[in-house]
Amino acid sequence: MPDTFIINTTNSPYSKLLPVAISEVSFTDGLLAERLRTIKEITIPTQYELLEQTQRLFNFRRAAGKTQGDYFGFFFNDTDVYKWIEAVSYTLIWEWDDDLDKLLDQVIEEIKLAQDEDGYLDTYFTFERKKERWTNLKDMHELYCAGHLIQAAVAHHRATGKTNLLEVAIKFADHIDSVFGPGKREGTSGHPEIEMALVELFLETRDYRYLNLAKFFIDERGKGLVGGDLYHIDHKPFRDLDEIVGHAVRSLYLNCGATDLYLEIGDISILNALERLWRNFTERKMYITGGAGARYEGESFGEEYELPNETAYAETCAAIASFMWNYRMLFAIPEGRFADIMEQTLYNGLLSGISLDGMHYFYVNPLADNGKHRRQKWFACACCPPNIARLIASLPGYVYTKSYEGIWLHLYTPNKAKIEWNNSIIEMEVKTNYPWDGEIDITINSDAHFSLFLRVPGWAKGYSIFVNHKDEEPQIVNGYAKIERDWKKGDNIRISLDMKPEIIVSNPKVKDNIGKIAVKRGPIVYCIEQIDNNFPICDLEVDIEKDLVPIYSEILKGVVTIKGKGYIPEKDLWKKNLYLPKKVLNSKRIEIEFTLIPYYAWANREQGPMQVWIRKA
Amino acid sequence: MPDTFIINTTNSPYSKLLPVAISEVSFTDGLLAERLRTIKEITIPTQYELLEQTQRLFNFRRAAGKTQGDYFGFFFNDTDVYKWIEAVSYTLIWEWDDDLDKLLDQVIEEIKLAQDEDGYLDTYFTFERKKERWTNLKDMHELYCAGHLIQAAVAHHRATGKTNLLEVAIKFADHIDSVFGPGKREGTSGHPEIEMALVELFLETRDYRYLNLAKFFIDERGKGLVGGDLYHIDHKPFRDLDEIVGHAVRSLYLNCGATDLYLEIGDISILNALERLWRNFTERKMYITGGAGARYEGESFGEEYELPNETAYAETCAAIASFMWNYRMLFAIPEGRFADIMEQTLYNGLLSGISLDGMHYFYVNPLADNGKHRRQKWFACACCPPNIARLIASLPGYVYTKSYEGIWLHLYTPNKAKIEWNNSIIEMEVKTNYPWDGEIDITINSDAHFSLFLRVPGWAKGYSIFVNHKDEEPQIVNGYAKIERDWKKGDNIRISLDMKPEIIVSNPKVKDNIGKIAVKRGPIVYCIEQIDNNFPICDLEVDIEKDLVPIYSEILKGVVTIKGKGYIPEKDLWKKNLYLPKKVLNSKRIEIEFTLIPYYAWANREQGPMQVWIRKA
């Protein structure tokens, strides 16, 4: 275990915030802590087995010449290993584990042996395919694979202080830099990812070549070098984009890289494009679950307001990418709207990507289903499973940020933090039953003068804040309650957020949601699942005038369910009628009680239909 | 003008009713009388001009060798002339006109000259195409054209007593009979129509060859002789059909012919198939306007509950075909449900097919539009304009039927009738402002003992009947109030139907109607058209708790409009919001009054959007 974890952050004036590292925050209890624990205890070991079983590790051994046989699987399968390394590295930060550390070293050694002398590393392009290297940037994901290697290496370096993987990554990055760049070869990646990785490598090494290379790859877009089409987000220069289009994961990863680049170089035309894309995404193309990508075809965004429920794609990786992008946007523009989307995505369309048992995954996250969609153990294209592992494992790093004014608390979850700020350590503890309860209790365990920025979620229709049990009415700045004072050890802050269940309606331009409502409580989007209800859920019409009652339940590892009242038609009423007077319908419907569960937790029990958007009576 | 009009009706025991002919009923006033007048004064002369301009008549002259040049237009263009002759013939029955009679004779002479010696008549298959006759029954519509010729000829014979066109038709029918039939050539028509025409020719001539040929053409279906597919309704034998599929007009024309055949031969397996098709149509595939055919593709029925509004096809000809079929079903099963569909179709999806000015036509009758869909003067494929002319011109023949028990009144419209019944003439007069008013006043102007069967529409939630100003509670048999008595000259019957505007909801399986309502009053389906409302109608959400108020208006040649209350969102509310709490929406919406007009009358004024199904608040 390293003495201290290395944290290299920007010194750019364009970054209004600085990260608070995973090493500074410990989750103590509650939903997210449970998810982290499951990642470590279940997901990571089972995924390691799968990396072996599905020949992802074999491909490295083969490339190293240690074994014989054909390359196995998709040409981007290396990334599953890299993302798994990244996930394991994050867990080491919040909970050291000698065995996992050793296992990582073993795997890293295999990766290292697969690297060419010139630094090139992609186990698909070895031997007979060596001559095809860099010949098809549009489709073949070499730069995408490099990006995940770099991210894994930086995470591993931060987690362990070791440079064994970082050296591999740097060697490959240097090779890429020797091939691509102004005056060298033109090109960019058909699947963005390298951009944010290179900025991270720049931050880790302070080597400006990597930042310049990230900028180069972003500047190369829109020149038709990788398809020239919407799918590859190559139809326009990045700075000219005004509609979020194309393959959802690629599009959102690109936005992550572009945000990272902006934070370093301050090019306002990039930020303006990002702001336009963010508005277009959140105002026209985002599912209420935070899900991104309406279409199976091209795993892509659809037209504006094209948000079908049953055929929603909403890939788990796209939710992850959106979460990562919104976090980055917060550094450029510290406004609660970005943390709101992070939270909305995390608790809904992102957490839905993994089963409660930690070893089954959704690639696609529909908002309605007839009962056939179930989480799988693995996929031939297995981008999502290790991606959600690394994201969840890194969650402690997303809770806080800091600025010269003080500490920002974005996500409420029980934790203890020791945050380096202004050459001192600020200790604090958050106690809460969030997201099931809106009461958040914060204790400051240090003496210091700073501002505490507490996010007041956009969904909170009411809130109150007490400092040392006295009502406080702090200034709200862009969605954050700012409380500046000389904090003394033992000071207590209590923020109470109104968590009444809310009936949500959709923009009527979203055709599939017309006449339907969704239910939210706090950050949680609810759904109706067949197993909790003794009538066919497709028949339900919600009476929105009746109360929605939250009830804590032990099911699904403990969640708040919501009960409400509604109607189902008399049996067979609609079998022989195409149209009915509303009065006749009203006289032939039966009042029933229904139960809703959090969307993220559906499909963890008996198979059956599910709906987020439910018809209203 | 003939001394009496010839009426040849069935003597089959399977026909529970007998027709009351056009010649026995005079429309006196009101909406339908106005439509008939417009057909005669505007539609018929303008269509004649178009038949000349678009070379439909030229094709006959060319076939006769009187002129040179290529055949013009679609290969089924002869039918436009035939349908126009049929329309004119009907008008002659209710209003003799020497000029039109002469014009008909002229046109008929040209048709006659185009006929081959062997009786074959189709101006497309002349000269160089002669050898292609009867080579492509699936696509080339020769039997369809023959059917319309026969229908025109029978109508003309009934109207004028002349046999000039009937002889042509018989000659062609005999030719067809010489070619097709058991032991002769196999085959049937890719586009049904000939079947009902042949039964009609049988009734007119009592020549059983035509009935047998009709049966042959129906029995030949499902053998793969015309495609073997759903589109041509050739995938199954007719008697095995259980879902209404394929090209909507073909499907419904086929049902007309099959019903006609059943009425003569009493084959219960045909009636059972018809009943299944009727239930499938009315319970799963019919628009609230009576429109038939959901899809542009193949002008066809869609899946069950596939009833999109904006992309509805609902061809005018299909509404006409459904009206004709339901009338025929009434003869087999005298139940009000068939007359209900006749009425629902007539006043909505059928009348919508022609403009109030009588010279513009919808081929396609959508239930929602963004403002671009307008009636046209004519079409390259002009089946609908002369079809609606002949249907409207024949409406007096659809109002009554008779049985051994008495007189059946199916459609309420102001009229005077002199009906031959049981060797006497029963005179009666109907006064009403129907469909704008539910009060119907009937005077019997003969002394006779018979039952009067008054239809109590399925939509009437309440009704009362008075005989000679005394409340009567007659037996209701299958949707008809049966009043049997010794009627005396001057006896008065008053039927009062509750015409409160009704909110209609759709089967939730019709996706496009979820969360929406339609408004009906009596038989009239309403729509909202932009011109009557000072807000964007796409923004409207109806408050279904508020009263809907019918108000007579002089617009659109005099209609009852309906005013109601609803809401529109504050300007731009939905521009930047994809989802909103219902409470927020409710606080940011503006109450407005909206105006609805009858659906059939839309698109007769300034261009603008229209909706039948409107979102409810």
Q: What ranges make up the beta strands (E) of B461-570? A: 463-467, 470-472, 475-477, 480-487, 491-497, 502-506, 516-521, 524-529, 541-542, 549-553, 559-569
pLDDT band at A10 (very low <50, low <70, confident <90, very high): confident
The model's pTM is 0.93
Under a CB-based contact definition with an 8 Å cutoff, are residues A403 and A18 in contact?
yes
Q: Is A145 known to be catalytic?
A: no
Taking the C-alpha atoms of residue A381 and residue A57, their distance in angstroms, rounded to an integer, is 15
Mind telling me how many Å the CA of B504 is from chain A's nearest CA? 4
> What residues have CB less than 8 Å from A401, skipping those under 6 apart?
A17, A18, A19, A20, A330, A331, A334, A407, A408, A410
A53: pLDDT strictly greater than 90: yes
| A322/A183 same-domain check | yes
The predicted-structure confidence for B140-177, as pLDDT tens digits, reads as follows 999 999 999 999 999 999 999 999 999 999 999 999 99
A283 close to B (CB below 8 A): yes
Under a CB-based contact definition with an 8 Å cutoff, are residues B495 and B454 in contact?
yes
| B185/B261 same-domain check | no
Closest to A372 in 3D by CA, of A380, A362, A384: A362
Looking only at the bridges linking them, the beta strands covering B502-506 and B516-521 are: antiparallel
| B325/B277 same-domain check | yes
Domain boundary among B497, B514, B546: B497
Structural domain count, chain A: 3
Q: Which residue among A145, A256, A317, A383 is the active-site one? A: A383
Taking the C-alpha atoms of residue B147 and residue B162, their distance in angstroms, rounded to an integer, is 19
**Closest by Cβ to A283, choosing from B508, B577, B585:** B577
Q: Determine, yes or no, domain membership for B26.
A: no
B587 close to A (CB below 8 A): no
Residues in chain A: 617
Residue B5's pLDDT is what? 67
Residue B69's pLDDT is what? 93
Burial B78-116 (b: 16+ CB within 10 A, else e): bbbbbbbbbbbbbbbbbeeeeebbebbeebbebbbebbb
End-to-end CA separation in angstroms for chain A = 59
Concatenating the DSSP letter of every residue in A250-291 gives: HHHHHHHHHHHHHHHH--HHHHHHHHHHHHHIIIIIB-TTS-
Residue A294's pLDDT is what? 98
Q: Determine, yes or no, domain membership for A16.
A: no
Q: Which amino acid is at B229?
A: D
**Closest by Cβ to B503, choosing from A509, A514, A582:** A582
Q: Which residue among B220, B299, B315, B529 is the active-site one? A: B299
A284: pLDDT strictly greater than 70: yes
Q: Which domain covers residue B345, as residue numbers?
A: 226-352
Domain boundary among A497, A528, A563: A497
Average pLDDT, chain A: 97
**Closest by Cβ to B578, choosing from A283, A503, A574:** A283
Mind telling me how many Å the CA of A576 is from chain B's nearest CA? 5
| A466/A558 same-domain check | no
Residue of chain A with shortest Cα separation from B308: A511
* Angle value at C-alpha B604, between B602 and B606, nearest 5 degrees: 100
The predicted-structure confidence for A503-556, as pLDDT tens digits, reads as follows 999 999 999 999 999 999 999 999 999 999 999 999 999 999 999 999 999 999
Concatenating the DSSP letter of every residue in B61-81 gives: HHHTTSS-S---S-TTTHHHH
Determine, for residues A581 and B461 on separate chains, whether the beta-carbon distance falls below 8 Å: yes
Residue B7's pLDDT is what? 60
| B84/B167 same-domain check | yes
Determine, for residues A514 and B615 on separate chains, whether the beta-carbon distance falls below 8 Å: yes
Q: Determine, yes or no, domain membership for A258.
A: yes
User: At A328, which CATH number?
Assistant: 1.50.10.10
The predicted-structure confidence for A103-141, as pLDDT tens digits, reads as follows 999 999 999 999 999 999 999 999 989 999 999 999 999
| B245/B278 same-domain check | yes
Residues of A whose CB is below 8 A from B512: 511
- What is the signed CA dihedral for B457, B460, B466, B472, rounded to 10 degrees? 90
Taking the C-alpha atoms of residue A401 and residue A406, their distance in angstroms, rounded to an integer, is 9
Q: Which of B502, B514, B541 to mutate to test the interface with A (most CBs of A within 10 A)?
A: B514
Q: Is B145 known to be catalytic?
A: no
Beta-carbon neighbour count of residue B477 at 10 Å? 14
Determine, for residues A282 and B514 on separate chains, whether the beta-carbon distance falls below 8 Å: no
A573 close to B (CB below 8 A): no
Determine, for residues B515 and A518 on separate chains, whether the beta-carbon distance falls below 8 Å: no
Residue of chain B with shortest Cα separation from A572: B507
Concatenating the DSSP letter of every residue in B424-472 gives: EEEEEEEEE-TTS--EEEEEE-S-EEEEEEEE--TT-S-EEEEETTEEE
End-to-end CA separation in angstroms for chain B = 59
| B82/B197 same-domain check | yes
Q: Determine, yes or no, domain membership for A131.
A: yes
Under a CB-based contact definition with an 8 Å cutoff, are residues B386 and B80 in contact?
yes
A515 close to B (CB below 8 A): yes
Q: Determine, yes or no, domain membership for A421.
A: yes
Under a CB-based contact definition with an 8 Å cutoff, are residues A442 and A419 in contact?
no
Q: Determine, yes or no, domain membership for A9.
A: no
| A426/A375 same-domain check | no
Concatenating the DSSP letter of every residue in B156-211 gives: HHHHH---HHHHHHHHHHHHHHHHBSTTSB----SS--HHHHHHHHHHHH--HHHH
- Please give the distance of CA B300 from its chain centroid, rounded to a whole number: 17
Mind telling me how many Å the CA of B578 is from chain A's nearest CA? 5
Determine, for residues B579 and A288 on separate chains, whether the beta-carbon distance falls below 8 Å: yes
The predicted-structure confidence for A340-361, as pLDDT tens digits, reads as follows 999 999 999 999 999 999 999 9
A9: pLDDT strictly greater than 90: no
Closest to B248 in 3D by CA, of B190, B143, B326, B319: B319
> What residues have CB less than 8 Å from B576, skipping those under 6 apart?
A279, A283
Q: Which of A244, A461, A568, A579 to mutate to test the interface with B (most CBs of B within 10 A)?
A: A579
> In terms of C-beta density within 10 A (0-12 exposed, 13-18 middle, 19 or more buried), how is residue A268 classed?
exposed
Q: Determine, yes or no, domain membership for B21.
A: no
| B279/B390 same-domain check | no
| B390/B275 same-domain check | no
Mind telling me how many Å the CA of B286 is from chain A's nearest CA? 8
Residue with tokens 């949680």: A524
Mind telling me how many Å the CA of B550 is from chain A's nearest CA? 17
Residues of A whose CB is below 8 A from B461: 581, 583
**Closest by Cβ to A580, choosing from B284, B504, B512:** B504
Q: At what angle do helices B98-114 and B78-94 cross, to 10 degrees?
A: 150
What is chain B's alpha carbon radius of gyration, rounded to the nearest angstrom? 25
Domain boundary among A339, A363, A394: A394
The predicted-structure confidence for B540-551, as pLDDT tens digits, reads as follows 999 999 999 999
User: At B462, which CATH number?
Assistant: 2.60.40.1180
Mind telling me how many Å the CA of A459 is from chain B's nearest CA? 9
Q: What are phi and psi of A20, to 5 degrees?
A: -105, 120
Closest to A221 in 3D by CA, of A211, A209, A231, A206: A231
Residues of B whose CB is below 8 A from A514: 514-516, 615
| A390/A423 same-domain check | no
| A91/A146 same-domain check | yes
**Closest by Cβ to A504, choosing from B286, B508, B581:** B581
Residue with tokens 């409660």: A356
Q: Determine, yes or no, domain membership for A372.
A: yes
